[in-house]
Amino acid sequence: MRLTPIAAACLLAGIALLFAGYRIDRLPPTNDELVFNVQAETIRSGKPALFFHVAGEKWVQPLAVYANAALRTVGAGRRSGRIVSAIAGAIDVALVFLIVNLITQRAWIAMIAAVILIFTPAHAALSIRGTDALLPSPLILGWLYGVLRFFRFDSIRTLTVAAVLLGLVAYAHQAGPLTAVFLWALTLAVAFRRNRARLLAATLAFAGVWVPAVAWFYLHPDIYPDTFGRWFVFAAHIRNPFDGLQAFINPNTLGTRASMYWGFWDPSWLFFTSADEPQPLLLIAAPLIAVAAFRWPMSIASREAAALVIGTALIVPLAGATFGVPHYIADAAAVLPILAVLAGIGVDQLVSLVVPRRPLDDDVAVTAIE
């Protein structure tokens, strides 16, 4: 890996962090932020846990709580949750740059994608909110970058790291367990023609990350129904998977989730400001995403990458649809950097229509072999 892309990614992450830091104290903490602050204090008072009970049936995942507590130990105070989100948002920007640069091998296009993410309204808002909404994003982007590098260099190490990062998504957000399983299934579907032994090893690494959760539920079985039992698989369905399958394909269940999912992709909400709230995405990104979705999959050289990125954009909001909340951007925030990647690809596709392109490194290698 060359130093220049890493330096550029770090520079963009620093800009994103400064942008978030400038706005971090503008709004008072929300009730959701206070929940994570209180749970972080319980860790500091000597009550660690893997899942944290808030009230009634409400539980939160550990990653945001422990990150919040860690920053409190170094004096971040009440801003600790927001600083965690700001760091996650900055890492998103760096990874979007690296992913687009890896795909297009054109740094200026990767920089456009990163800038689009910096100014994406929903991403900018969530990067100064001290909750777990943005925590899955860097992990999912890290998985995506690792799998893309595996496609290019066939490295078992990058695939294994990608699998571990995706496994950690299960501890980042309530939508994480379903999202992680769906995305790993996508990985296997896209890469099934690759080295099967390496895919098996990476799958074992992915499953291994879930061992602490399995152990915790074994020791505290009463916790499962209100955590993974609501977010992932009902306890009764573990005992009888056939009942779980029937419940999943129930027409009422499918209809409700399909309605939520369809509403999430409503362009009038995604790209246009309403009387109640600003739009989640930049309007300028809409045509770029459309161009990428239409033209990119037709490129034989990039078909695997296109299937992976577009598939990820479609899959990430699926888990959020199970919570029954309209326009659930906080439960599917990881889609925002993926759409920024697609916007960058859209720029690349438009440029290719009007400007002769130099061959990518892979094209040159193929030509030399021939």
- The confidence score (pLDDT) of residue 171 equals 96
CB environment 294-329: b (16+ within 10 A), e (fewer): ebbeeeeebebbbbbbbbbbbbbbbbbbbbeeebbb
- The confidence score (pLDDT) of residue 354 equals 82
- What's the CA gap between 54 and 34, in Å, rounded? 11
* Interval 278-294 mean pLDDT: 93
Q: What is the pLDDT of residues 239-271, one digit of tens each?
A: 656 655 665 666 777 788 889 999 999 999 999
What confidence tier does 310 reach under pLDDT thresholds 50, 70, 90?
Answer: very high
- The confidence score (pLDDT) of residue 232 equals 80
What confidence tier does 17 reach under pLDDT thresholds 50, 70, 90?
Answer: very high
Query: Average pLDDT over the chain, rounded to whole?
Result: 88
- Which of 2-6, 46-50, 172-176, 322-326 holds the top average pLDDT? 172-176
* Interval 274-303 mean pLDDT: 86
Question: Which stretches of the chain are DSSP H helices?
Answer: 3-23, 31-44, 62-73, 80-104, 107-118, 121-126, 136-153, 156-168, 176-190, 196-208, 211-219, 228-231, 235-239, 241-248, 251-264, 267-270, 285-295, 303-320, 335-354, 361-369
What confidence tier does 370 reach under pLDDT thresholds 50, 70, 90?
Answer: very low
* Beta bridge partner(s), residue 202: none
Q: What is the pLDDT of residues 35-63, one digit of tens each?
A: 999 999 888 777 778 899 888 888 999 99
Range in 9-18, 147-156, 298-307 with the lowest mean pLDDT: 298-307
Task: Check whether 362 has a pLDDT greater than 80.
Answer: no
* Interval 212-240 mean pLDDT: 81
- The confidence score (pLDDT) of residue 238 equals 61
- The confidence score (pLDDT) of residue 324 equals 77
Tell me whether strands 58-60 and 52-55 are parallel, antiparallel or unpaired.
Answer: antiparallel
Residue 148: name the closest of 131, 130, 135, 161 by CA: 161
- The confidence score (pLDDT) of residue 367 equals 29
Task: Check whether 358 has a pLDDT greater than 70.
Answer: no
Residue 256 CB contacts under 8 Å (≥ 6 apart), including other chains: 324
Range in 7-21, 242-256, 318-332, 341-355 with the lowest mean pLDDT: 242-256
Q: What SS3 class is residue 251? A: helix
Range in 139-153, 192-206, 304-318, 353-367 with the lowest mean pLDDT: 353-367
* Interval 341-368 mean pLDDT: 70
Give how far Cα 63 sits from Cα of 39, 69, 300, Å.
11, 10, 39
- The confidence score (pLDDT) of residue 365 equals 36
- What's the CA gap between 70 and 67, in Å, rounded? 5
- The confidence score (pLDDT) of residue 237 equals 57
- The confidence score (pLDDT) of residue 275 equals 62
- What's the CA gap between 176 and 33, in Å, rounded? 19
Residue 35 in tokens: 């929940």
Range in 111-115, 132-136, 351-355 with the lowest mean pLDDT: 351-355
- The confidence score (pLDDT) of residue 288 equals 96
* Interval 315-335 mean pLDDT: 91
Task: Check whether 228 has a pLDDT greater than 90.
Answer: no
What letter represents residue 2's amino acid? R
Task: Check whether 339 has a pLDDT greater than 70.
Answer: yes
Task: Check whether 210 has a pLDDT greater than 90.
Answer: yes
Task: Check whether 173 has a pLDDT greater than 50.
Answer: yes
Q: Of 321 and 109, which is predicted with more confidence?
A: 109
